[in-house]
Structure 1
Amino acid sequence: MKMPPAEWTERRGLAALIAALDGKARFVGGAVRDTLLEIEVKDVDIATPLLPEDVMQRLTAVSIKVIPTGIAHGTVTAVLPDGPVEITTLRRDVSTDGRRATVAFSDDWQEDAARRDFTINALFADPETLEVFDYFGGLADLEDRQIRFIGSAVERIAEDHLRIMRYFRFLARFGKQELEPEAFRACVDAAPKLEQLSRERVADELLKLLATEDPRLAIGKMLDGKIFQHIIAETDEQATTILGQLITREQAYAIMPDPVRRLVALLPKDRDKSGAIAKSLKLSKKLQRAIAERSPAQANGKTQVAPRLFHNAENIRALAYRTSVETARDVVLLFADDSELPEMLAQLKNWQSPVFPLTGGDLIQRGLKPGPIVARTLATIEQAWIDKGFPEEKWVTEFVAGLDFNGRT
């Protein structure tokens, strides 16, 4: 079988790279898989029997910039005009502990394929002829949308525990309803080992899973097998209901999936608790802040979901002004009642946050004494302006005219 011609194979500099490797190269992994599935290819990976130092010398000789990104494990990265290309020397595992592997370089294509995770990821293609090399039945599994470990699922997971997460991500992206029983059982049995992995690696895979078009089946199976409790122990049935409702709404309104929005659905409906989990997952400060902005708060023992704090749908713009339109839209998708949802989304559509037409300097010019009272007065006026629905500057001028020097009307 041959891989169909694809636009990515014509990237600038790729032909020169292949030529420099003197025919000792094959495309491998996602680029081959996705081309066969006729979906967009983002990353291009190449396998070669050449040693990494040899690869670097050959590419440097033809003026291709190359970076030793993972040279100890055989990987270098060629910097091409249309994007980087990773080139990895064929390998075999010498030893593994579930988190990292010690490898030895090889010149055996099948031996290299055997150390990969799933059959659909172990497909090679010749750059010249586009002939596909399939050592473990990946083409048939791709046809059947079957996610199958290469060889023993137990052994593959023992080599790298993160493959549990990858299994469900690939299930969500490419799989069908039926899970391979051996693979599912191996994932269930090894799930406690996920707690031995760095939280950054787990979080990265979780966000990739949540970014797939519809991860409900995969998440549901992980909960059924008590796998998810080793990722976020607090996720419960109510959370999956919210996730399901969220995805239905995304699809109904043609809104692109967002992993952070979906993660909020799976977290406790308590801003402090969800924030603690986001921190434990070692998410970036930016993502932690995004989760906090989208999570409900607790007040007097009751959940305060953001849209319910506003008197009507139009006031959802107040949340958009204080945070962003994207944040407000996510809160609506997550927590608004069905009856409020269309109007709230309509209020946010194409809305641009206005600029508050007043500064502290303006108040001082009008006679307010400099000091902390300036900030307090400005905040009072701004809140009144927000509550009024962001009226024009004339309204602000008239409002200020009614204030005394202490900021009281």
Structure 2
Amino acid sequence: MTDTSALQAIVERPGVAALFAALGSGEARLVGGAVRDGLLGVEVADVDVATVLSPYEVMRRCGAAGIRTIPTGIAHGTVTAVSKGETIEVTTLRTDLATDGRHATVGFTEDWREDAARRDFTINALNFDPATNEVQDYFGGLADLEARAVRFIGEPLQRIAEDHLRILRFFRFTARFGRGVDEAGLAACAERANDLMALSRERIADEWLKLLALPDPVPTVTLMLEHGLLAPVLPEIASEAPSRLAALVETERAADVAPEPLRRFSALLPAEPLVAEKVAARLKLSNKVRKRMALAAAPYAGEPPRALAYAIGVAETQDRLLLGGDAAAAAALRGWTPPRLPLGGGQLIARGITPGPEVAKTLKRIEQRWVAEGFPDEARLEQLVADEMAATRH
């Protein structure tokens, strides 16, 4: 019999328990990742609930129980409930009426199996009924979870045709949970790789960065490259790129620095800032992210790490150091905050420098010496100021 103690603990959390009580016994179940992760003993942060109730009835019952709701995706049956500090998505059981690979037109149903059949992989189609304390498994998800097998529900090609993003999700879930790879799923993904071009770049970026954030994405990225999965949307990633990613993963571990998907993405691209920025722009990443990836792509030239961090930022410097293989220098920056120069142009004017361009030039020279000397204390800064003032007078 399946051990459901972890799932019981989830539904007994005050906010979750209050929501189930509001919806009514037998009317709602825990679904998706919360069930999968709970059974695996993985910490569950996001809780999703499915229900036979309409979204409007969900809102009515929650309102009567004092639970605030937000109609985040009400046209598709989803309401967000905010219950005792928990944010929980509640979705009415659905069935697909039409799909085009990017979007689905859905109808509502009261059939739990029909709703589960919409999900991508067997391990994601499990649900837990608090009223009976049972896990409902319609497609062999429990066995696949035990075997750590990531397997499409039904015919893989059909599931990919319904939603092309499932190609990337197949590899992300394989990297996270799989022991090996499901060959039927791999073959279908390789056959339909060009379908990725029909997706929005934002959706591609979101899944891709989630994959790269996993503890060790190297084997999966290597597999994707070997089967041509990345060529349609990320042709800049060359076949030898996984070796650079593998080296970075090891350096991150040696430095005891948390995985950073943007840094890892940079490791897979040519070490050219313009290329990194171009790829980031194509994926519709933010200007801040584009700048970070471009800075990471520039080779480390041996500058003092703290001086470089003062100039371009701590995270950006750690990226460059880790990509260059310098774990010790990157680790030394952990928790360090660049100081601010405790000096301004007004103070220089008060000391006798004539207002104008010379003020900024003098301040810049003082700052450069202050940084080069490792951000010395105020006594030494005072000496630097005196030196520059004297030089300016001459």
- Please report the TM-score for the alignment, with normalisation by the length of structure 2: 0.94
Give per-residue Cα distances to partners, 1:256-292, cap 9 Å, x unaligned. Answer: 2111221111222111111111111111233223223
* 2:118 matches 1:118: no
Matches within 5 A, 1:143-292: 143-176=146-179, 178-292=180-294
Distance 1:253 1:51, change over 3 A: same
Greater displacement, 8-17 / 382-391: 8-17
Counting only pairs closer than 5 Å after superposition, residues 25-44 of structure 1 correspond to structure 2 as 25-44=28-47
Given the alignment, which residue of 295, 313, 321 partners 1:324?
A: 313
For 2:205 and 2:309, how far apart are their aligned partners in 1? 27
Within the candidate set 55, 59, 63, 2:62 is matched to 59
Q: Is the 8 A contact 2:226 2:239 kept in 1?
A: no
Shift of 1:408: 8.5
Structure 1 window deviating more from structure 2 (286-295 vs 376-385): it is 286-295
Letter in 1 for 2:5: P
The amino acid across from 2:231 in the alignment is Q
Is contact 2:255-2:331 (8 Å) kept?
Answer: no
Q: 1:395 aligns with which of 363, 374, 380?
A: 380
Q: After superposition, where does 1:74-85 map in structure 2 within 5 Å?
A: 74-85=77-88
State the alpha-carbon separation in 2 of the partners of residues 106 and 341 from structure 1: 54
Q: Which moved more, 1:142-151 or 1:256-265?
A: 256-265
Per the TM alignment, residue 377 of structure 1 is displaced from its structure 2 partner at its CA by 2.0
Q: Quick one: structure 1 residues 397 and 91, their matched pair in 2 at CA, closer, same or farther if it must change by over 3 Å? A: same
Query: Does the aligned pair in 2 maintain the 1:4–1:130 contact within 8 Å?
Result: no
User: Whole-Å Cα distance in 1 between the matches of residues 17 and 313 of structure 2?
Assistant: 45
Q: Which whole-Å CA distance do the structure 2 matches of 1:283 and 1:366 have between them?
A: 47
Deviations 1:125-182 (A, max 9, x none): 0123331000000001001111000001000000000001111110111011x22221
Amino acid at match of 2:312: T
User: What 5-or-longer segments of structure 2 have no aligned partner?
Assistant: none
Q: Does 1:102 align with 2:105?
A: yes
Partners of 1:179 and 1:49 lie apart in 2 by 35
Indicate which of 42, 47, 50 corresponds to 2:50.
47
Corresponding residue of 1:72? 75
SS in 2 for 1:132: strand
Measured after TM superposition, the shift of residue 65 of structure 1 is: 0.8
Contact kept, 8 Å, 1:98 with 1:159, in 2: the verdict is yes
Q: Secondary structure at the match of 2:252?
A: helix
Q: What are the superposed Cα offsets for residues 293-318 of structure 1, whole Å, 9 maximum, x if unpaired?
A: 3221xxxxxxxx13x242xxxx1111
Structure 2 CA distance, aligned partners of 1:346 and 1:65? Answer: 44
Corresponding residue number in structure 2 for 1:294: 296
Quick one: distance in 1 between partners of 2:116 and 2:197?
28
Deviations 1:352-404 (A, max 9, x none): 42332321112111222222332222122211221222222222222222335
Are residue 130 (structure 1) and residue 115 (structure 2) matched? no
Which runs of no fewer than 5 residues in structure 1 stay unpaired? 297-304
Q: What secondary structure is seen at the aligned counterpart in 2 of 1:391?
A: coil
**CA shift in 2, pair 1:407/1:268, >3 Å:** farther
Contact kept in structure 2, 1:2 and 1:132, CA below 8 Å: no
Amino acid aligned to 1:401: A
Question: Pick from 360, 374, 394: which aligns with 2:359?
Answer: 374
Letter in 2 for 1:26: R
Identity %: 50
Residues of 2 paired with 1:309 and 1:250: CA distance?
A: 19
Root mean square deviation of aligned Cα: 1.9
Pairwise CA distance, 1:48: 1.1
- 1:62 CA drift (Å): 1.4
> C-alpha displacement at 1:5, in angstroms?
3.4
Give the Cα–Cα distance (whole angstroms) in 2 for the partners of residues 350 and 112 of structure 1: 47
Deviations, residues 210-255 of structure 1 (Å, cap 9, x unaligned): 1111111111111111111223210113432221101112223332
SS in 1 for 2:231: helix
Q: Is the 8 A contact 2:6 2:41 kept in 1?
A: no
Q: Select between 74-83 and 152-161 the one with higher mean Cα deviation.
A: 74-83
Q: Is the 8 A contact 2:113 2:138 kept in 1?
A: yes
Structure 1 residue runs of 4 or more that deviate by more than 6 Å after TM superposition: none
Greater shift in the superposed pair: 104-113 or 231-240: 231-240
Q: Are the aligned partners of 2:15 and 2:86 in contact in 1 as well (CA < 8 Å)?
A: no
Secondary structure of the 1:45 match is strand
The DSSP-based 3-state class of the residue aligned with 2:14 is: coil
